[in-house]
């Protein structure tokens, strides 16, 4: 069997793991005795594979466990965000109806949103959220979303 340089380089991964037939192994050996380039290529590949370290034991299991552990939290946060969005839409619609009912002069200046007072984490009130739109629900923490829902329910 006569192997070309291309054949030998395609076979390198299999040669390293020993997944070649005896005939291929012999043909490769014949090729590299007369082809310095392929011999060098195979030598480098052997050296690299020798230095390749296996993943630490249990790494795969730890990664999977971590992904599974975090999934329910994300799903719960998403449900809270959806519930809060629905509540805001309902209240926003009601507020809009009230605004339209009370409108006496169409030329009157539009209602100004009150200035937002930042009181640190959890400062967002339903009123602020409705009037300013300063923060999207997606930016709120789980705690802030819960607080928002509690306010909406009260």
Q: Which is nearer to Zn ion, 5 or 26 (CB)?
A: 5
Cβ 64 to Zn ion, closest distance in Å?
43
The DSSP string of 83-113 is: HHHHHHHHHHHHHHHHHHHH---TTSPPPPP
First and final CA of the chain: distance in angstroms? 84
Distance between CA atoms of residues 154 and 152, nearest Å = 6
CB atoms within 10 A of CB 38: 22
What track of x and - describes contact with Zn ion for positions 80 through 119 (by CB under 5 A)? Answer: ----------------------------------------
Cβ 37 to Zn ion, closest distance in Å?
5
Distances (CA, A) of 33 to 39, 40, 42: 7, 11, 12
Among 5, 40, 76, 98, binds Zn ion (CB under 5 A): 5
What track of x and - describes contact with Zn ion for positions 34 through 73 (by CB under 5 A)? Answer: -x--x-----------------------------------
Instruction: Using CB under 5 A, list all residues that contact Zn ion.
Output: 5, 35, 38
């Amino acid at each position: 069997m006569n192997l070309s340089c291309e054949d030998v380089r395609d076979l390198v991964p299999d040669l390293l793991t020993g997944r070649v037939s005896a005939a291929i192994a012999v043909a490769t050996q014949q090729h590299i005795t007369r082809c310095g380039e392929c011999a060098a290529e195979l030598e480098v590949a052997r050296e690299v594979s020798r230095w390749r370290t296996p993943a630490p034991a249990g790494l795969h299991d730890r990664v999977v466990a971590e992904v599974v552990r975090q999934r329910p939290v994300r799903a719960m946060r998403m449900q809270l965000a959806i519930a809060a969005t629905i509540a805001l839409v309902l209240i926003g619609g009601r507020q809009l109806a009230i605004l339209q009912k009370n409108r006496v002069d169409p030329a009157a200046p539009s209602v100004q949103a009150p200035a937002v007072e930042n009181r640190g984490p959890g400062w967002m009130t339903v009123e602020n959220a409705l009037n300013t739109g300063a923060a999207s629900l997606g930016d709120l923490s789980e705690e802030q979303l819960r607080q928002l829902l509690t306010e909406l329910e009260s």
